[in-house]
Amino acid sequence: MQIYIVRPGDSLYSIAGRFGTDVNTLSYINQLADPSRLTAGMSLVIPGGGEGVRGETEVLAYVYPNVSSATVGETNPYLTYLCPFSYSARADGSLSGIDDARLISLARAGQTAPLMVVTNLSEDSGFSSDIAHSLLTDGTAQETLFENILTVLREKGYYGLNINFEYIYPFDRDSYSQFVAKAAERLHPLGYMVSSAIAPKESDSQYGLLYTAHDYAAHGKYLDRVLIMTYEWGYTYGSPQAISPVNKIRDVLDYAVTAIPPGKILMGVSNYAYDWTLPWQQGRPARILSNAAAVNLAVSRNAEVKFDYTAQAPWFNYTDAAGVSHVVWFEDARSFRARLQLVEEYGLAGIGVWTADQLYRPGLYVLQSMYSVVKLL
């Protein structure tokens, strides 16, 4: 596999001829809406060639229950774990379930291990610090939660558990560490894998509702895998910037590998784009797009794709039909490759994708060209 950057005057036909392939293949791999049109600066994945597989890696992917079976089916060969998102824990330890039978069946059919995801999402207002506090400090509620988790694991045929508690009060840090230790103590003897998803920190002392209660050393000590959510520097209500800048990811990993065994770390990978209107105003949300939709938007607007070499991320400006200016930050084959190179560099277990709901075929081709994906079933 090669990555080619489109130049002014290129056509898909001329590129196909140059590399000994055909237009239909290039259009399919790169998910082009209109093969007759390209725009300067966009990346194209070219099949064949390449440097060879570097070794094995694990790939975890979150998906929402309504993800299409076709998307899961095409992604399955590239996954180690599939995580239907999510079972929401209530303050009393009961669970709000999801329709996950189809996804579990699809995962296992592709030798992908399904993981049960448990969150402290409330039913109406996002992640709840109060729900987390109750579950971490009320012994009765915590025991009820573990029993309910065990029931789901057994009845649904999950391979293991992924704990995704966010916005935990800083004063609940020790309680959360004790909780993950207890989860491992309860589930490991029964043969279940236990993992967590934690915020991207650059030091143990990093303070805040997102960070303080996530004790890297404790999660690394007790759990089998720890997914670090290295994305959302650029986020819905934030200022325009790269979503998963490689330079920022490095800052997190430099600390993470001192607290967590590298072979337990899954590095978070974003699989989406944001479209901000300009000039940016605080409180005005960005529009979320798939990476494929972002590329096709650039082509339709004849917008030149730029590349930030510090962040290792592509972006472009365009003007909509109403004359409003926009900037879009997204991921392409180059940014996927740059982040996947960190897996080998830091000796990580692999990556965790948020989310695999929208297929981005070039990313799968880049992954396949670099690593052999571990299968556990």
Q: Is 331 a catalytic residue?
A: no
* Opening angle at CA 247, ends 244 and 252, nearest 5: 80
Contact (Cβ atoms closer than 8 angstroms) between residue 114 and residue 62: no
For 40-94, give the DSSP string: TT-EEEE-S--S----EEEEEEEE-TT--HHHHHHHGGG-SEEEE--EEEPTTS-
- Residue located via tokens 């510090």: 310
Which stretches within the chain are classed as H helix? 12-19, 23-29, 69-75, 101-109, 129-137, 139-156, 173-187, 216-222, 246-259, 291-300, 333-346, 361-370
- Pairing label, strands 325-329, 273-278: antiparallel
What lies within 8 Å, CB to CB, of 125 at 6+ separation is none
Handedness of CA 209, 215, 216, 221 (dihedral sign): negative
Q: What pairs with residue 44 in β-bridges? A: 4
Catalytic residue (choose from 58, 123, 143, 166): 166
Burial of residue 336, with CB atoms counted within 10 A of its CB: 0-12 exposed, 13-18 middle, 19 or more buried? buried
φ, ψ (nearest 5 deg) of residue 92: -90, 0
User: Which residues are catalytically annotated?
Assistant: 166
